[in-house]
Amino acid sequence: MGLLDAHCRELIESAMDAIIVVDDAHRVVLFNRSAERTFGVPAADALGGGLDRFMPERYRGSHAGQMRAFAASRVTRRSMGMLGTIAGLRADGSEFPMEASISHFEVEGRTHLAVILRDISERRRLESQLLQAQKMEVVGRLAGGIAHDFNNMLMAMFNFLALATRELPEGHAARGSIAQAIAAGERAADLTRRLLTFSRKRAPAPGAVSVREVVRGLEPMLRRVIAEDVRIRVALSPDVGNALADTGQLEQVLMNLVINARDAMPGGGTLTIEARNQALDEDYCRTLVGVSPGEYVMLAVTDTGVGMTPEVRAQIFEPFFTTKEPGKGTGLGLATSLGIVRGVGGHIAVSSEPGAGTSVKVFLPRVDGGVAARGVARDAGVVPHGSETVLVVEDEPTIREQVAQALREAGYRVLLAGDGVDALVVAGAHAGEVHALVTAVVLPGMSGIRLAQELATTRPRLAVVFMSGYPAESIEARGIDPSTCEFVSKPFAMDDLLRRLRAAIDRRRAK
């Protein structure tokens, strides 16, 4: 009909947005390629028909009215986006949000309306992922803060309980109760550890980890936590590569998936653990935040359990979302796992159907090259002693006293201070050498880190041990090289502190 010349036609056909033109009888006279893609309708099918089939039934009346009003107006161009997002309808019956702009023009004395539509469902999805990430960040910070204070209290409890046991004669009836209290305290410490991981306040050390070894290593333990009526199938592809992960964190992720699967199969079933290499392509990654196309190691845990309704499925990554009875689940498992996996640029995909079971796939970036050394086993054995002078700085009096007592018992001379300024005064007034500083990181006023830097200006050989609920990572962030100091994370065992102190002093002396 000579509506447009060839160049214009080409431009329209290659546009990213759907472009539809209707004539004054509201029949479609132009339907570009993007419109075909967006609505799933071939142009040949759309031409000559009305616009109704592209919008959900409930909006047809109001849309038609708006179009007529617009055509009758003197305005030539308007963004319907100003009216909010409108709903589109695909040929397969699914609805999607779109932004629209509309314009009208005369051709051979007849009014035509051009509608330009943009499918924004993908953008919406990304926005909601971003929102979720921000929410996690806030809850994480909150949880981290609470866990930090909680750790201080737990530590005091542990140490007083240990003291109390020591004073009771062997076989005393109260020993059993104290042991129970310590066991309950350990569960509380475990919860704070989970909170700290969740808030990413524990220092992970991602490296090349053999997924095969992690699965094989956990297998005996998995068999123990899983009831006999659940069959376990492990399928590790022989060529499965190394994944970018922190071994401890990966174990935690796998453990939670397995326990979730177990809980979903109260009447028995089959639990499958699979690992294999898989590439994620551009198409797959487009709708995901922070995931780039490339080689991944996929670790999947599949069960034949109760499955999830779409409502539950939509919330499983929410922190504290759980359908388990109080005491059985905290709802942090998957939220934490997602944090961990995203932390290394990975991705978790979940498919589930009520009654048909669930499959959770964890994708971790594949790294070729050596396997990172496993974390150094905690050195057990004799607790080292010493006779050096140690300055202990901690604002929490019970912890300060307990640390001081442990150090004195181990032979050290102890100086005490409640904050950084106080510590500078105490150190300045001390006539002899101060060999080591044991300090909290977070202190009222001057931080433990500032204090360490300040003291080191006149004492270059000062050994430093930081005590904190936060990890070495945050120390690094604040400008201290973690290789020059030692670090204990609360709640810590006094023996651990003593070992680290000894190591710190010996290392400084060797220099």
Ligand X SMILES: Nc1ncnc2c1ncn2[C@@H]1O[C@H](COP(=O)(O)OP(=O)(O)OP(=O)(O)O)[C@@H](O)[C@H]1O
In the bound state, the residue with its beta carbon closest to ligand X is 333
* Minimum CB distance to Mg ion smaller for 204 or for 333: 333
CB of 350 to ligand X, least distance (A): 8
CA 136 to chain centre: 8
CA distance 319 to 138: 11
Compute φ and ψ for 15, nearest 5 degrees. -65, 150
Tell me the number of residues near Mg ion by CB under 5 A.
Answer: 3
- Looking at the DSSP bridge assignments, the partners of residue 391 are 415, 437
Q: State the binding partner of 330 from Mg ion, ligand X, none, CB within 5 to 8 A by kind.
A: ligand X
CB of 199 to Mg ion, least distance (A): 17
Q: State the binding partner of 323 from ligand X, Mg ion, none, CB within 5 to 8 A by kind.
A: ligand X
CB of 261 to Mg ion, least distance (A): 9
Q: Where are the beta strands (DSSP E) in 282-435?
A: 294-303, 347-353, 357-367, 389-393, 413-417
Give the residue carrying structure tokens 């009771």. Answer: 168
CB of 143 to ligand X, least distance (A): 12
Residue 330 near Mg ion by CB under 5 A: no
* Minimum CB distance to ligand X smaller for 30 or for 195: 195
CB of 149 to ligand X, least distance (A): 21
Q: State the binding partner of 305 from ligand X, Mg ion, none, CB within 5 to 8 A by kind.
A: ligand X
- Among 34, 197, 249, 256, the residue binding Mg ion under the rule CB under 5 A is 256
How do 294-303 and 269-280 pair as beta strands?
A: antiparallel
CB of 327 to ligand X, least distance (A): 10
Residue 72's identity, in one-letter code, is A
* Minimum CB distance to ligand X smaller for 133 or for 156: 133
Please enumerate in sequence order all residues whose Cβ is within 8 A of that of 418, keeping only pairs 6 or more positions apart, or say none: 393, 394, 395, 397, 400
CB of 331 to Mg ion, least distance (A): 8
CB of 498 to Mg ion, least distance (A): 36
**Radius of gyration for the chain, computed over Cα atoms and rounded to the nearest angstrom:** 32
Please enumerate in sequence order all residues whose Cβ is within 8 A of that of 199, keeping only pairs 6 or more positions apart, or say none: 140, 141, 142, 143, 144, 147
* Minimum CB distance to ligand X smaller for 154 or for 308: 308
Please give the full DSSP string across 485-498, using - where no structure is assigned: SEEEESS--HHHHH
Q: Please, what sign has the CA dihedral across residues 101, 19, 35, 125?
A: negative
* Minimum CB distance to ligand X smaller for 134 or for 315: 315
CB of 321 to Mg ion, least distance (A): 10
CA distance 242 to 210: 5
Q: State the binding partner of 264 from Mg ion, ligand X, none, CB within 5 to 8 A by kind.
A: ligand X
Residue 140 near Mg ion by CB under 5 A: no
CB of 230 to ligand X, least distance (A): 12
* Minimum CB distance to Mg ion smaller for 37 or for 328: 328
Binding site for ligand X (CB under 6 A): 256, 260-261, 264, 303, 305-308, 312, 316, 321-324, 329-335, 358
Q: State the binding partner of 261 from Mg ion, ligand X, none, CB within 5 to 8 A by kind.
A: ligand X
Residue 333 near Mg ion by CB under 5 A: yes
* Minimum CB distance to ligand X smaller for 339 or for 469: 339
Burial (CB < 10 A; 0-12, 13-18, 19+), residue 441, is: buried
Q: What is each CA distance from 305 to 99, 221, 265, 356, in whole angstroms? A: 41, 21, 4, 7
Residue 352 near Mg ion by CB under 5 A: no
CA 398 to chain centre: 34
* Minimum CB distance to Mg ion smaller for 124 or for 324: 324
Pick from 205, 197, 202, 201: which is nearest to 373 by CA? 205
In the bound state, the residue with its beta carbon closest to Mg ion is 333
User: Where do runs of H (alpha helix) occur along 239-314?
Assistant: 247-263, 282-285, 310-313
* Minimum CB distance to ligand X smaller for 28 or for 335: 335
Pick from 124, 343, 361: which is nearest to 248 by CA? 343
* Minimum CB distance to Mg ion smaller for 247 or for 260: 260
- Among 38, 159, 210, 260, the residue binding Mg ion under the rule CB under 5 A is 260
Site residues for Mg ion per CB under 5 A: 256, 260, 333
